[in-house]
Amino acid sequence: MRKILIAILIFLAAIIQVSFLPNLFPGHVAPDIMLVGAIIWSVWKNLKRAWLWIILAGLVLDVLTFDYLGVNAISFFIISLGVSSLSKRVTADNKILIVLLYAGFIIVGTIANFLIGDILNGLNRSAVDWSGLLAETVNRNGLIRKIFFNLIVSPFIYWLIVKMKTFLRSGEII
Amino acid sequence: MPAKFLTSRIIKFLMVMAVLLLLVFLVPQKIFNSARGIILEIAYPFQKTFYTLSGRVRETFEFLASISELKAENSGLIKENNQFLAQIAELENQKKENESLRRELELAPRKKFNLEASLVIGQDPSGPGSWIVIDKGRSSGIEVGLPVIVSQGILVGKISEVYPNSSKVAMLTDSASFVNVSDIDTGAKGIIKGEYGLGLVLNMVEQTALLNVGDSIVTSGLGGDLPDGLLVGQLQQIENTQDKLFQRAIVAPEIRYSDLDIVFVIKR
């Protein structure tokens, strides 16, 4: 039952990201709530049991955004793994440091998601401009806004994840 | 023990990455189209509901933000309305002249198309300009390649993927979009290409062809995939290509793609 609920939540989150949020944010650049959720979960909890759900989240997003199947899944998987590994090596007792840590992971994760998506999609079309890739990705207005919006929604996503964990009444729900 | 655990973790990671990379690169995407279609069918009512809801929320916020300007705007509108009443009779004559000119200039007459009105129910979350999702699909006679316009006969994109009850529209500003066009004033022919969802570039215009800033660009009908006379945009900036063989120009789209709520698909 818990697993069905989690799958439904992932599905709804993907739909909200594609069909609800673009209308509410300037420039119609929607925050990547699925990516932010995956990053927060990877920092906060054990990735060992969550990786399959993170990959599923990526696949669902691939379907709804008409990307090549597997692009977001790979991106989420790599980013979550990286964030989880790094977070185990970095400790912070100060709340401000913890917040900065989360913010740093979200910023790096967002840029990595853009790069990985661009590379994989470009390789599929045999059209990756390697020399201009980083400059293009960083300079694009959409990426800067996406980082900003991801940071804005991250406290809300964090709160939702805490509530979800309480609702599903388990220490390690997945 | 820790060494063994590390090895199994790496193996697991490599296996997962291998499966996912196979999915992305080696498995033809068309195999998954039926599965994608099923998921989109399930998602369609939710997408439509959420998109409509968010549109109303946005309108509410925009209305609240504009309240302070409403009084001043209201006075201005009353004045304007009085002026418009006087212009109505003149506009009736201009309408007749317009229809005659459209025939002469070979613009597409508005009423000759078989149009399917569609609501926009989703868009590229990375920002406007690459693709949108509409609420009509195969069951409404939509096919891949059909042009998509807004009510004034302005081309905004083409159908790129079709599912039972929804379709994906690749906007003109999408990097993979190519359209044969001509300058309505000079007849110069070229190809419009999308640029990263941000704008339009007119390419492959002969050096001897005449282009003027402000000219309107319409579909030329060459290639047979799009009807001629659909408005695309206006010329903004003209320059030569690096090899100096052709001219190229920046074209400003006629409308903001981020504001699309209703579009029309021109069916065969």
Is B17's CB within 8 Å of A77's CB? yes
Dihedral sign for Cα B240, B241, B243, B246, please: negative
Q: Of A17, A24, A29, which has the smallest distance from its Cβ to B58's Cβ?
A: A24
Q: Name the stretches of chain B with pLDDT < 70.
A: 1-6, 26-30, 82-83, 85-90, 92-93, 96-97, 100-111, 127-129, 151-152, 196-197
How far apart are the CA of B123 and the nearest CA of chain A, in angstroms? Answer: 6
The token pair at A153 is 């929604």
- Spatial CB neighbours of B202, under 8 Å, sequence gap ≥ 6: B181, B190, B191, B192, B211, B217, B235, B248, B249, B250, B251
Q: What is the ipTM of this complex?
A: 0.77
Chains A & B: contacts with CB separation below 8 Å: 109
Q: Strands B262-267 and B178-183: what pairing?
A: unpaired
Give the tens place of pLDDT for each residue, B20-69. 888 887 666 667 777 788 888 888 888 888 888 888 888 888 888 787 77
Q: What's the pLDDT at B100?
A: 59
CA-to-CA distance for B53 and B159, rounded, in angstroms? 25
In a 13 Å sphere around the CA of B85, the CA atoms on its Cβ side amount to 5
Ranking A125-134, A151-160, B33-42 by mean pLDDT, the lowest is A125-134
Q: Of A12, A73, A124, which has the smallest distance from its Cβ to B25's Cβ?
A: A124
* Host H or E run for residue B194: strand B189-195
Give the tens place of pLDDT for each residue, A31-74. 999 999 999 888 877 667 788 889 999 999 988 888 888 889 99
In 3D, which of B267, B268, B266, B251 has the Cα closest to residue B153?
A: B266
How far apart are the CA of A9 and the nearest CA of chain B, in angstroms? Answer: 13
* Host H or E run for residue A74: helix A71-89
Q: Of A12, A19, A24, which has the smallest distance from its Cβ to B57's Cβ?
A: A24
How far apart are the CA of A129 and the nearest CA of chain B, in angstroms? Answer: 13
A16 interface with B at CB cutoff 8 Å: yes
What string of DSSP letters covers A82-138?
A: HHHHHHHH----SHHHHHHHHHHHHHHHHHHHHHHHHHHHHHHTT---HHHHHHHHH
Residues of B near A (Cβ–Cβ under 8 Å) read 13, 16-17, 20-21, 23-25, 27, 29, 32, 35-36, 39-40, 43, 46-48, 50-51, 53-55, 57-58, 61, 121-128, 131, 133, 161, 168, 196, 258
A66 interface with B at CB cutoff 8 Å: yes
Dihedral sign for Cα B67, B72, B73, B78, please: positive
Cα-based distances in Å from A101 to A39, A82, A96, A98, A158: 11, 14, 9, 5, 14
Chain A residue with the nearest C-alpha to that of B19: A70
**Chain B residues with CB-CB distance to A60 below 8 A:** 39
**Can you tell me whether residue B92 is helix, strand or coil?**
helix
In chain B, % of residues over pLDDT 70: 83
CA-to-CA distance for B173 and A137, rounded, in angstroms? 17
In 3D, which of B166, B146, B167, B165 has the Cα closest to residue B157?
A: B146
Mutate to test the interface with B, among A34, A49, A66, A88 (most CBs of B within 10 A): A66
Q: What's the pLDDT at B254?
A: 79
Binning pLDDT at 50, 70 and 90, where does residue A173 land? very low
CA-to-CA distance for B163 and B165, rounded, in angstroms? 6
Chain A residue with the nearest C-alpha to that of B169: A66
A80 interface with B at CB cutoff 8 Å: no
Mutate to test the interface with B, among A11, A16, A19 (most CBs of B within 10 A): A19
